[in-house]
Amino acid sequence: MNNNQFIFFSGKGGVGKTSMACTTAVRHADEGRRTLIVTTDPAANLSDVFEQPIGHKITPIANVDNLWAMEIDGDQATEEYIDRAMSPIREAFPPQMVAVMEEQMSGPCTAEVAAFDRFVDFLEPGMAVDDSHNGSGPSPMPPFDTIVFDTAPTGHTIRLLELPSEWTESINAAEEGSGQTCIGPTAAIQDAKQKYERAMLTLRDSAQTTFTFVLHPEATAIKETKRAINELGKLGIHTHQLIVNGLIPPAATQNALFAGRHQMQAGYMDQIARELPLPAQHMYLLDGEIKGVERLRQVGRLLFDGADYKTAVNGSVSPGQLVDSVPNGIASASPLPRLHPNGQSRTIFFAGKGGVGKTVASCITAVWLARQGYKTLLLTTDPAAHLADVLEVPVGDDPQPVPGQDNLWATNIDPKAVAAVYKKRILDDARQRGRPEAAIKVMAEELESPCTEEIAAFDQFIDYATQDNWDVIVFDTAPTGHTLRMLELPLDWSKQIDVKVFASVDTVAADDVAKQRFDKVINMMRDPHLSTFAFVMYPESTPIIEAYRASEELQTVGITPGLVMANLIIPPEAADTAYTQSRRTMQQNYLGEIAERFATPIVQIPLLPYEVKGLTMLTELGEQIYGQG
């Protein structure tokens, strides 16, 4: 077992990073190492796995000596970060200047910066702290032998790891110009600059740090892992290992459905061995969920000791009473009114925990709508875009017709590509309006900040959403926490524009136009006749809880869920062994919970013995779940 001080878990969303990270943390603690597990994932669920409250403070885990956990809360971390950065400024500058600087720090990237800033504290020697004394500041805590980081999905994680170098560039540029950045005044973050540089040295040190990539034996997960390893290599991080999760256990292959999936996985296991020649551990798909300390110890025996599957989990889950239907009512209502444009354009957003099948669900829906005769645009702003893999056709930066399917166009909004265009457009517009060169220089500095890519990607989406030439736009979104921040960006921008308008500070026509443009999209998102938010989830506890949290947060900005897509449902005829009965029983019980939590129609996407790829399969699945139309 790896005994490095810092162990990072990464990989495509939904592959079991949290389960594997928690299993590893429990094993280290049981072996007598003082262990902390911490997550920077905006959709944190350590509390769900350990079945106890945790939150934004270092919390001892019940029934495990030597183990503590913390979920970094983005909002609280942001407040702490701004207060820490602005405290010396408030004492040294007049209130008017302080107000301007605080507005400067209200930009969309501050939460991400603050969460990373808090996370970096744990990489500092002697910086492990006890935050349980809220209000009185952190107090020293004995150092940990192992710190396990349950990180966000790969694309988001990579951007987090790139931030220290981007911040350094932004700080250096700002020092030569206005002295401000979107993450605060340079004078207030000089100490942070050195801290982030030290953090990168730690991440690159193979004697201290290991990155464990969790993946399923599937094409998209292999591709994502290779991409992530390549990106980390560019940052000088080269210490990697694998956990291949979700393997069908031998006993389950008596069932035709799982025998087919086992055969599919065997081919991908060969591909992993060829293309990812790294130290690897293997983990079976269990007959029930991984929740609770004793279950984590069972998983540890499989993962670290090579225990026999039946011995490790024997008696852990009983088949129980098989339920064959979802409760009646709105859950069984037709989803079609939430999909058809009905004479107006409609935007359908697919949201949910990373890796639950949003891309598959969005592709099935877009193909079905196109076949109904609607001019349909399928797009994603997810940095780990997989539209091309599922459609099995090239998908570029501009909308192009999908070969073989009339009425369907697809595009991948590349954040890096659109950021370059966005920067040029903003600066060119400023020059045309006669802004002085000094002001343009300040704007250029601002546009080099780490949040510009995310803003630019969403700005590009707004362009498509305000066009009148699409009947339906199907939006395959990024994982939940990231998606929510993107959806809140227009609100943040509008608030900032409002501040400028009501303060009568440098108001220009361009700001008014921008505000109208953002308001139009915000109102569209809130109107159920124009937009549908479809939450995709497995029928398991963690994806349901995360989707419910996300839906609650959306409702605070006036957006109500319109549809649930329950993915990977075992058909009743396939539940013909104890293993499949146990998993189907679990799924059916959770379908009941979904129906209670979400007042929407529920669409069930069946588990198949192979991956969902290609227009033929997407067409067949669309007709199976939505009908002929």
- Identify the pLDDT of residue 166: 61
- The dihedral formed by the CA atoms of 14, 39, 486 and 196, expressed in degrees to the nearest 10: -130
Confidence of residue 317 (pLDDT cuts 50, 70, 90): very low
- Identify the pLDDT of residue 399: 92
User: What are the structure tokens assigned to 218, written together?
Assistant: 């599937």
In tens, the pLDDT along 3-36 reads: 668 999 988 767 888 999 999 999 999 999 999 9
Average pLDDT, the chain: 81
Confidence of residue 119 (pLDDT cuts 50, 70, 90): confident
Confidence of residue 501 (pLDDT cuts 50, 70, 90): very low
**Is there a contact between 355 and 154 (Cβ–Cβ < 8 Å)?**
no
Confidence of residue 138 (pLDDT cuts 50, 70, 90): very low
Over residues 342-362, the mean pLDDT reads: 88
**Is there a contact between 249 and 49 (Cβ–Cβ < 8 Å)?**
no
- Identify the pLDDT of residue 592: 93
In tens, the pLDDT along 450-460 reads: 567 777 777 78
The sign of the torsion formed by the CA atoms of 42, 48, 49, 50 equals positive
- Identify the pLDDT of residue 81: 81
- Distance (Å) of CA 441 to CA 152, 399, 424, 473, 517: 34, 33, 13, 37, 26
In tens, the pLDDT along 289-300 reads: 899 999 999 999
Q: Over 80: is that where the pLDDT of 169 sits?
A: no
In tens, the pLDDT along 205-214 reads: 999 999 999 9
Q: Over 70: is that where the pLDDT of 475 sits?
A: yes
Nearest-angstrom CA–CA distance, 600 and 597: 9
> Cβ-count burial of 37 within 10 angstroms (0-12 exposed, 13-18 middle, 19+ buried)?
buried
- Identify the pLDDT of residue 178: 54
Over residues 379-404, the mean pLDDT reads: 87
Over residues 349-353, the mean pLDDT reads: 86
Over residues 526-542, the mean pLDDT reads: 91
User: What are the structure tokens assigned to 216, written together?
Assistant: 């399923």
- Identify the pLDDT of residue 503: 39
Q: Over 90: is that where the pLDDT of 124 sits?
A: no
- Identify the pLDDT of residue 40: 75
- Displacement of CA 203 from its chain's centroid (Å): 22
Q: Could you tell me the domains of the chain?
A: 6-247 (3.40.50.300), 330-624 (3.40.50.300)
Q: What percent of the chain has pLDDT over 70?
A: 76
